[in-house]
């Protein structure tokens, strides 16, 4: 049997092969497009997971550095290493973890984009209190490390009722 296709004469087996080939090409193109979309989604998820893992590693280092400062005296405007004010302590700790933060508490809150609720705090998050007048670092298990005020030393405190009542917000540096 002979079939005419676009001016070319094809024998039946060739015509059938051409039809099958174009159908399979169409199917493989559709499959490739679906794979590309899935691949993009998968790679985006993988990139996000890697970014989160890097942030957690940096946060762990920042928490460790801040905890090592426990016992150092508070001094207004101090950024360490021997004494700290509240924002100087968290700036110092995150700097040691490789993340640059603004100097004062209000700027730290304003310029770090990743805002976090009380319910979603993770170690390394910066917690702000009293109208952005004080900052501490969440260390996990309902506690924070901070440099409280003149005459006091860097310490770890539980996050009790007063802290909850004066809580303004939190941010997650390093993202």
Active site residues: 86, 134, 146
Q: What is the 3-state secondary structure (H, E, C) of the chain?
A: CEEEECCEEEEHHHHHHHHHHHHHHHHHHHHHHHHHHHHHHHHHHHHHHHHHHHHHHHHHHHHHHHHHCCCCEECCCCECCCCECHHHHHHHHHHHCCCCCCCCHHHHHHHCCCEECHHHCCCCCEEEECCCCEEEEEEECCEEEECCCCCCECEEEECCHHHHHHEEEEECCCC
């Amino acid at each position: 049997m002979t079939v005419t296709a676009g001016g070319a004469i094809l024998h039946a087996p060739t015509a059938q092969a051409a039809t099958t080939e174009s159908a399979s090409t169409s199917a493989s193109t559709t499959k490739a497009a679906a794979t590309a979309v899935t691949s993009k989604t998968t790679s985006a998820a993988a990139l996000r997971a890697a970014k989160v893992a890097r942030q957690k590693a940096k946060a762990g280092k920042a928490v460790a550095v801040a905890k090592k400062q426990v016992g150092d005296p508070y001094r207004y405007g101090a950024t360490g290493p021997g004494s700290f004010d509240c924002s100087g302590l968290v700036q110092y700790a995150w700097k040691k973890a490789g993340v640059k933060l603004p100097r004062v508490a209000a700027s730290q809150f304003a310029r770090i984009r990743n805002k976090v609720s009380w319910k979603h705090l993770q170690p390394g998050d910066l917690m702000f209190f009293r109208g952005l007048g004080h900052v501490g670092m969440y260390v996990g298990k309902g506690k924070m490390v901070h440099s409280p005020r003149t005459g006091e030393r860097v310490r770890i405190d539980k996050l009790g009722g007063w802290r909850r009542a004066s809580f303004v917000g939190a941010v997650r540096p390093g993202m």
